[in-house]
Structure 1
Amino acid sequence: MRCALILSYDGTHFLGSQTQKSSNNTILGNLQKVLSTLSIDSKIIASGRTDKGVHATGQVCHIDLPEFWTDIKKLKKVLNEMLPSSIKVKNIKKVEAKFHARYSAKKRVYRYIIKESKSNPFEANYVTFLDSVDFEAIQKNIKLFIGEHNFSNFKKTGSDTKSNIRVIFSASAYKHKKYIVLNFEANGFLRSQIRLMVGALLKLDASEIISQLNCEKNFKIRPAPCNGLYLSKIKY
């Protein structure tokens, strides 16, 4: 029986989401370890990877359960009891055998959170603190990313991808108290693409962003910190 697992996690102390040969300290590494103790040896497939320090409120994975695991409500309860408190299984549901967490996904939604204030220890791992932000410029310039673009200048060096073309369906910014929330929805993202887009919004003007989007010039801006980024939702 193929099942989809919806996960939320605090990525602060993990080395990203994907399993690694050198360390089990990843989101899927911890999940795979717990599943193995329950005699579930199916490989976990996630909708996509999140880097070290990045969080999720709606990561989706799929696994194939052995025949003796028919009670998925019980499985959810057991997993949440055994997993670290920073990883939570929000839901488990039966899906069609052809469902694939990564390849069946139509849209991916990410959120980036900035707080316009001095840093404090209680939120340091979850938002990016800035003394001052030109919100009006961000709200205007974020729309430049909407549409189909070649994001060659908005990916981490060394990324192994067949194509750098991605379609941004929506990109917006709004204020909530002292927080600035940036939302991006696309058919997919390159590695560190969102953090580099946010970095561009914080450092470049509109003409410079357009120039970098058109692959005319690469300003080599630094990616925004990982702690403000959240994988919010996967749409199928």
Structure 2
Amino acid sequence: MPRYRMTIEYDGSPFSGWQRQAGQASVQAAIEDAVSRLGQSEPTLFGAGRTDAGVHGLGQVAHIDLEKTWLPEKLMAAINAQLRPDPVSVFDIHEVDDSFHARFSALARHYEYRIRDSRTPPALDRHRVWWVPYRLDEAAMHAAAQELTGHHDFTTFRSSQCQSKSPVKTLDRLDVCRDGRDVIVRASARSFLHNQVRSLVGTLKLAGEGKWSAADIREALQAADRSACGPVAPPQGLYLVRVDYSDDG
């Protein structure tokens, strides 16, 4: 059976998340259902990461095994035609070796979180940013973020529902900058714990408000205690931007 790797973007607003769930709309189910209408029986899509309800994808990667061989561009057009009107689009497909696995072959995952810190609420972006109605200090947030990079026990920033075997992860990058009206938080690692990025962002917001110092952030990390975490940022500002693999060149 030929295996196809696809890169996907989606607006997570109407979905319960990436993963198929009984009785709820999900990104995985939308694509699997689209593929099934092309004559594939019981298609199973494997994603690089399970984004939560309301979280968006700019470069989610998934793979699927099909019963017949397709020209990639025809397969992409056919899937996208079946996906309408769902806010999901496949913008790249190519055939890969069966040793490729969207989740287990990934070398790095890159997330971005967008905060709109303005007195006026967003209109067009209201489901795509976290609106904070006052100015944040992005420089203080970036300085505090550097306390969190590296190899650590991230229990403080881990959901109680996280199924990862270990809370120890290596956070390769956590940067904060301003881009126009938005404060942007960018995080990169081989893998993340459940709710880790949103937990980090919510805690960094306290530094942006002047309520916490970089030392407070460091103490929260070292506590290895979920109760030491700041408020968890809402899902709508989070984007899975890119997933890296060894054959990407």
TM-score range, shorter chain: over 0.9
Q: Which residue of 2 aligns with 1:230?
A: 239
Structure 2's unaligned 5+ residue stretches are 207-211
Q: How many residues align?
A: 234
1:221 to 223, 226, 230: 230
Q: Percent identity?
A: 30
Q: Deviations over 1:78-128 (max 9, x none)?
A: 111111341000100111111000000010000001112121221110111
Residue aligning to 2:163: 160
The equivalent of 1:122 in structure 2 is 124
- Equivalent AA in structure 1 for residue 162 of structure 2: S
Report SS of the residue matched to 1:29. Answer: helix
Deviations 1:58-84 (A, max 9, x none): 0000001212x3222111011111113
Contact preservation (8 Å) 1:72, 1:92: yes
One-letter code of the match for 1:97? D
Counterpart of 2:45 in structure 1 is 44
TM-score when normalising by structure 1: 0.95
Q: Which residue of 1 is the match for residue 200 of structure 2?
A: 197
Superimposed CA distance per residue, residues 25-46 of structure 1 (whole angstroms, 9 cap, x where no aligned partner): 0000111111111122331100
Map of 2:209 onto structure 1: none
2:32 is matched with which residue?
A: 32
- Does 1:12 pair with 2:13? yes
Counterpart selection for 1:186 from 185, 189, 194: 189
Instruction: Give, in whole Å, the separation in 2 of the partners of 1:155 and 1:166.
Output: 11
Any stretches of 5+ residues in structure 1 without a counterpart? none
RMSD (CA atoms): 1.3
Aligned residue in 2 for 1:74: 74
1:99 is matched with: 100
- Is contact 1:150-1:215 (8 Å) kept? no
Shift of 1:162: 0.6
1:208 aligns with 2:216: yes
In 1, the alpha carbon distance for the partners of 2:138 and 2:74 equals: 46
Q: TM-score, normalised by structure 2?
A: 0.90
SS at match of 1:66: coil
Taking structure 1 as reference, are residues 82 and 214 closer, same or farther at Cα in structure 2, changes over 3 Å only?
A: same
